[in-house]
Amino acid sequence: RKPEHEAQLAELKVEPFELVVVNLYPFADTVMSGATPDECIEQIDIGGPSMVRAAAKNHPSVAVVTSPDRYASVLDAVRSGGFTLAQRKELAAEAFFHTATYDTHVASWMGNAYVDTSAGTGFPAWIGGTWDKASVLRYGENPHQRAALYTNGSQPSGPALAQARVLHGKEMSYNNYVDADAAVRAAYDHGDQPCVAVIKHANPCGIAVATEAEGIAEAHRKAHECDPVSAFGGIIATNRPVTLEMAEQVKDIFTEVVVAPAFDADALAVLTQKKNVRLVECPAPSRGGVETRPIAGGMLMQSRDVLDAPGDDVDGWRLVCGDAADEDTLRDLQFAWRAVRAVKSNAILLAAEAASVGIGMGQVNRVDSCRLAVSRAGERAAGSVAASDAFFPFADGLQILLDAGVRAVVAPGGSVRDAEVIAAAEAAGVTMYFTGTRHFAH
């Protein structure tokens, strides 16, 4: 870059060069393969990143290439007489992106897997991440907001919603991604049972499961019936391939997105006749792990709620009043308990025959959530079961459910007025279980 540099090259008898091509040791792939710590350490490249960084810094004179995807453009540049300065600047930026991602992989592994820097908390002393822009979206949550989709480049964990394939329809919007993320998560909350979740504004309009013999179409039918008015313009997610029978049901419903692990060929033939519906092929999400939320000046991190607390197993529930539930009632209670996790707090979910029939979500007091769930269920409230994501602070909210004819309730318990709540359920002759586990969702 400078005359004295050229003098040093001449003095040391070093020939100048214009192109550096480096492939770094495959550290991340080695870690993901399950290799031993020693094998992983052996794949930490030292000289490679040094060469890349030096060449990128010297980009006014040198082009640096770090990806085989660039080899074709290298050949084109050589044939045309070399890289322009603008091209070398772009390559230099890519090179620093590449080494930053590589260093993040190494530092994250060292501070998480190789040595515990969390002081026993499970949260490391340092976290880092890199994100690659996948697409620019039309707009954000509202038309005046700009938005883009980025994929996680620092912690490769396999394809997920951000990498999902849109098989048909318009490009996904910001709100589509938000709702689809909630829908996919809800659809995989019920183990191996065929499940469908219908989501609007990140809240369920309906969730249902079916037996393998009934199939995914039956799960969709029941989920849609919960609140067909709210399902208009919603997002549908399944944990099974979409079948022709389900597609025939969906085709007459205005739906923004259908997300599924696969679509049968005859189902695609039916649904692709709808010009605007987005058909998204998305693999099953990974369970567990952590989730983050930005706040002003920082970020919150917590382990993801995957319904794995002791109180999420029905064997850990405590019968606090009424007769022990029979097999069918217990199955509905267990479904309701798992389904209410997907509902924004304060959350009440009424269920019957392994399907939601009334959902009260996002209210700032539990009484209003109970009223909303009952009003949406209508006549279906009588004989249903109820799940509450947190304890009843008073008996008033529960009383609304009892007056509507709910026959069994599952809730965390833990209120200072639990005795009052239990007494109300007992007076109504209703079965009530406490789980000792809460499922707030904000």
Tell me the pLDDT tens digit for each residue of 48-66.
999 999 999 999 999 999 9
Using the predicted structure, report yes or no on whether residue 10 has a pLDDT greater than 90: no
What are the domain boundaries of the chain? 3-114, 164-281, 290-434
Pairing of strands 408-411, 234-238: unpaired
Radius of gyration of the chain, Cα coordinates, nearest whole angstrom: 28
pLDDT tens, position by position, 317-337: 999 999 999 999 999 999 999
CB neighbourhood size of 365 (10 A): 13
Q: What is the reported pTM?
A: 0.91
Tens-place pLDDT, residues 249-297: 999 999 999 999 999 999 999 999 999 999 999 999 988 888 999 999 9
Residue 329: predicted pLDDT? 97
For the chain, give the mean pLDDT: 94
Q: How confident is the model at residue 91 (pLDDT cuts 50, 70, 90)?
A: very high
74-85 mean pLDDT: 91
| Span 89-93, average pLDDT | 96
- pLDDT over 90 at 158, yes or no: no
Residues that are catalytic: 57, 201
The confidence band for 169, taking pLDDT boundaries of 50, 70 and 90, is very high
Other Cβ atoms within 10 Å of 321 Cβ, number: 19
Letter for the amino acid at 240? R
Check for a shared fold between 3-114 and 290-434.
no
Question: How do strand 348-351 and strand 385-388 relate by DSSP bridges?
Answer: antiparallel
The domain defined by 164-281 folds into Cytidine Deaminase; domain 2 (3.40.140)
The whole-number pLDDT of residue 154 equals 62
The band of 159, judged by pLDDT with boundaries at 50, 70 and 90, is: confident
* pLDDT value at residue 155: 57
Q: Please tell me the predicted confidence (pLDDT) of residue 289.
A: 86
Structure tokens at 209: 């499961």
The CATH topology of domain 3-114 is Rossmann fold (3.40.50)
The yes-or-no verdict on residue 371 having pLDDT over 90 is yes
Given 3-state DSSP classes, what are the helix, strand and coil percentages for the chain, each rounded to the nearest 5? 40, 20, 40
> Which fold is adopted by the domain 290-434?
Cytidine Deaminase; domain 2 (3.40.140)
